[in-house]
Amino acid sequence: MLKKERADYVLKRLEELYPETPVPLDHRNEFTLLVAVLLSAQCTDARVNLVTPALFDLAESAEAMLRLTVEDIDAIVRPCGLAPRKAKAIRGLSEILVEKHGGRVPEDFEALEALPGVGHKTASVVMAQAFGVPAFPVDTHIHRLAQRWKLTDGKSVVKTEMDLKKLFPRESWNKLHLQIIFYGREYCSARGCDGMVCEICRTLFPDRKNPVITRK
């Protein structure tokens, strides 16, 4: 099976498995989505969703977040890990949003990536899920599965993103990145599949004899 044929199969099968792709992180608006995505770094979405209601009840806008101290934010988000750094970033980005963007989350990659604690992946998630702009955020699930399916060589998440964007239609990116995440969590996790167990891996590579060692 050629790479394009593998990509076509993945796209078709994931659409069958996950016709609906609800955003995994609970949020109330663009600002709370941005904060939730920032908190999800090295933390599960489930844990973030347990923590954010208390934070968003106090501050669901940049202006309201500025009424809290870094220590206030830290105390709430501590279960998410890396709390001091994340709390400082949340308050810092809130200040910039108020001063430079009228309190609104900018619909712009460059402006988003200039915010504290916001890298390209976080910006991509916000652009895709808040504004519907085609993007292909690559998390650990996507990076790992793309290697198992030989859609990329996995040299870096940047390369993986570029390779996937070339293989899949632009209009599919926003939904597909969630579908791959959902599939990775359910069927092709780091411990649950080594490239030889789950349905898609077995379908794409029925003759594979050795486990796939993926790059992080």
* Residues 171, 162: Cα–Cα separation, whole Å: 15
* Residues 114, 93: Cα–Cα separation, whole Å: 9
Q: Which residues are catalytic?
A: 121, 139
Contact 98, 63 (CB under 8 A): yes
Count CB-CB contacts under 10 A for residue 62: 24
Tell me, what DSSP letter sits at residue 21?
-
Contact 52, 39 (CB under 8 A): yes
Of the candidates 131, 61, 111, which has an alpha carbon nearest to the alpha carbon of residue 90?
Answer: 61
Contact 96, 116 (CB under 8 A): yes
